[in-house]
């Protein structure tokens, strides 16, 4: 593919609204945009989605940056690859660091699609020309404030509403929501805030016709999630737990969930996301694409993977304007009535707008063919 340069654009983006989950509140998003440049000067873009602190998962942005600079960037520059699917194999000896791997791999996918003049969605095997999306709402100080946010998003036409829960902000809060919004497609996300000791509380949620309960227990707890799913009517959906193809296979075999949230970064990139898609399809497990408060590049990658057939449930990829005063792409992602049109342009389907990106840019590191992996071990 003749990649000659990799640029790591480090951005600090201020969010329109603070976002609160069971693990904390954030107002700023520290994001890395990866640009892979070929010998003809064509650029592909990826986004590294790790959090600022290791609270959602063990991966965090400073660590991802080091992993990209020391290992994954130089490895890609030193090894000629033929297809983006080769990237996973190239990175495989290096354990985990999935979001760093996925960020670089994402840039390679976009570049390859542009080199071959096809949309990324088509390259991935996607078939949809538009995708349905929902919205993920953070915890609010009061139920009244949350009800206002829900009303606004229902009016905007989002196809489902996801609300965050945590112990003490669960059964009564959902009862209040259901009293006002009797029939909306509603789901909850606990971000691992419960244990099996809370099973009575979780069972109480069965009365509210929720589409699913996302990640109630800790990430490693596939066996506990299977025990929980057997006692709940509401489908369990796993997010944090599905950090690889093998974890997806394990969860399906154990019956730990009935739905899977696929996040491209969490599973190590689009190649792995496709593999999980095919496995889940074979086992009749529906999928949706989760969000990580992405800027435009990550948002477009999410739309592209969602065009695969077994992404049958609305995902988290809401309009750019829900998160940002100004996104870094032109045109921005825009959901109309909860539907995003898939671009027919090559690659991710929109331009990364460097003029807009400038206002957020803190630093760009440039890796070239001169850079070799910075390692103690060698073979």
Enzyme catalytic residues: 164, 263
DSSP state of 197: G
Our CB check for ligand OSB shows the closer of 74 and 268 to be 268
Distance CA 360, CA 344 (A): 28
Q: Which residue number, 269 or 291, has a Cβ lying nearer to ligand OSB?
A: 291
DSSP E strand boundaries for the chain: 3-21, 24-38, 43-48, 130-132, 135-137, 161-164, 186-189, 213-214, 236-238, 259-262, 287-289, 329-330, 339-341, 351-352, 361-368
Nearer to Mg ion, 214 or 221 (CB): 214
Site for ligand OSB in 48-87 (CB under 6 A): 56
| 221 binds ligand OSB, rule: CB under 6 A | no
**Rounded Cα gap, residues 55 and 200, in angstroms:** 26
Only segment of 38-46, 80-88, 286-294, 340-348 that touches ligand OSB (CB under 6 A): 286-294
Biggest CA–CA distance in the chain, Å, is: 64
Least distance in angstroms from the C-beta of 304 to Mg ion? 20
Quick one: which segment of 35-43, 125-133, 285-293, 350-358 binds ligand OSB (CB under 6 A)?
285-293
Establish whether the linkage from the previous residue to 331 is cis, with ω within 30° of 0: yes
How many residues are there in the chain? 379
Assigned token pair, 258: 């009935």
Classified as helix, coil or strand, 113 is helix
Is residue 239 at the binding interface for ligand OSB, with CB under 6 A as the rule? yes
Query: Which CB sits closer to ligand OSB, 69 or 266?
Result: 266
Q: Which of 35, 189, 221, 327 binds ligand OSB (CB under 6 A)?
A: 189
Residues that bind Mg ion (CB under 5 A): 189, 214, 239
Residues near ligand OSB (CB under 6 A), total: 11
Q: Is 219 in the site for ligand OSB (CB under 6 A)?
A: no
At 230, which helix (H) or strand (E)?
helix 222-231
State which residue has the least CB distance to Mg ion.
239
Nearest distance from C-beta of residue 123 to ligand OSB, angstroms: 23
Taken in order 9, 244, 158, 154, is the CA torsion positive or negative?
A: negative
Using CB under 6 A, which of the segments 31-39, 80-88, 95-103, 290-298 binds ligand OSB?
Answer: 290-298
Nearer to Mg ion, 293 or 342 (CB): 293
Binding positions: 189, 214, 239
Contact partner, 316, from ligand OSB, Mg ion, none, Cβ < 5-8 Å per class: ligand OSB
Q: From ligand OSB, Mg ion, none, which one binds at residue 119 (CB under 5 to 8 Å depending on kind)?
A: none
Cα torsion 98, 99, 101, 105 to 10°: value is 130
Q: Which of 64, 65, 89 is nearest to 76 (CA)?
A: 89
102 forms part of the interface with ligand OSB (CB under 6 A): no
Q: Work out whether strand 339-341 and strand 361-368 pair parallel, antiparallel, or are unpaired.
A: unpaired
Both tokens of 358, joined, read 């400038």
Reduced to 3 states (helix: H, G, I; strand: E, B; else coil), residue 162 is: strand
- 253: buried, middle or exposed (CB in 10 Å: 19+, 13-18, 0-12)? exposed
Q: With binding defined as CB under 6 A, does residue 140 bind ligand OSB?
A: no
Indicate the annotated binding residues for Mg(2+): 189, 214, 239
Q: Is 291 in the site for ligand OSB (CB under 6 A)?
A: yes
* Among ligand OSB, Mg ion, none, partner that 292 touches (CB below 5 to 8 angstroms by kind): ligand OSB
Distance of CA 281 to the CA centre of its chain: 19
**Residue from the set 191, 271, 272, 343 that interacts with ligand OSB by CB under 6 A:** 191
- Among residue numbers 309 through 348, which ones bind ligand OSB (CB under 6 A)? 316, 318
136 belongs to the binding site for ligand OSB (CB under 6 A) = yes
Residues that bind ligand OSB (CB under 6 A): 56, 136, 189, 191, 239, 290-293, 316, 318
């Amino acid at each position: 593919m003749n990649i000659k340069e990799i640029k790591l654009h480090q951005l600090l983006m201020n969010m329109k609204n603070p976002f609160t989950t069971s693990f904390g509140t954030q107002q700023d998003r520290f994001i890395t945009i990866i640009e892979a440049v070929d010998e003809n000067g064509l650029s592909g873009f990826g986004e590294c989605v790790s959090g600022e602190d290791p609270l959602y998962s063990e991966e965090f942005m400073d660590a991802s940056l080091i992993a990209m600079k020391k290992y994954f960037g130089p490895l890609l520059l030193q090894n000629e690859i033929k297809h983006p699917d080769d990237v996973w194999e190239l990175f495989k000896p290096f354990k985990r660091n999935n979001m760093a791997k996925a960020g670089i791999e994402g840039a390679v996918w976009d570049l390859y699609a542009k080199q071959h003049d096809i949309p990324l969605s088509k390259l991935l095997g996607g078939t949809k020309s538009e995708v349905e999306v929902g919205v993920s709402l953070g915890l609010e100080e009061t139920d009244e404030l949350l009800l206002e946010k829900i009303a606004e998003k229902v009016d905007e036409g989002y196809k489902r509403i996801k609300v965050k829960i945590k112990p003490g902000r669960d059964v009564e809060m959902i009862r209040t929501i259901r009293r006002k919004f009797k029939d909306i497609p509603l789901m909850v996300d606990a971000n691992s805030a419960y244990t099996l000791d809370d099973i009575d509380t979780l069972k109480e949620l069965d009365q509210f016709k929720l589409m699913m309960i996302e990640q109630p227990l800790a990430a490693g707890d596939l066996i506990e999630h299977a025990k929980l799913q057997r006692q709940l009517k509401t489908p369990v959906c796993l997010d944090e737990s599905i950090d690889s193809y093998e974890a997806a296979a394990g969860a399906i075999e154990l019956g730990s969930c009935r739905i899977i949230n696929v996040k491209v970064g969490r599973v190590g990139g689009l190649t792995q996301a496709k593999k999980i898609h095919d496995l889940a399809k074979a086992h009749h497990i529906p999928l949706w694409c989760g969000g990580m408060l992405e800027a435009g590049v990550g948002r477009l990658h999410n739309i592209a993977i969602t065009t695969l057939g077994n992404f049958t449930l609305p995902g988290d990829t809401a309009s750019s304007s829900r998160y940002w005063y100004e996104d870094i792409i032109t045109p921005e992602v825009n959901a109309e009535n909860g539907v995003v049109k898939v671009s027919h342009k090559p690659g991710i389907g929109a331009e990364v707008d460097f003029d807009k990106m400038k206002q957020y840019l803190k630093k760009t590191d440039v890796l070239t063919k001169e850079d070799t992996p910075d390692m103690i071990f060698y073979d």
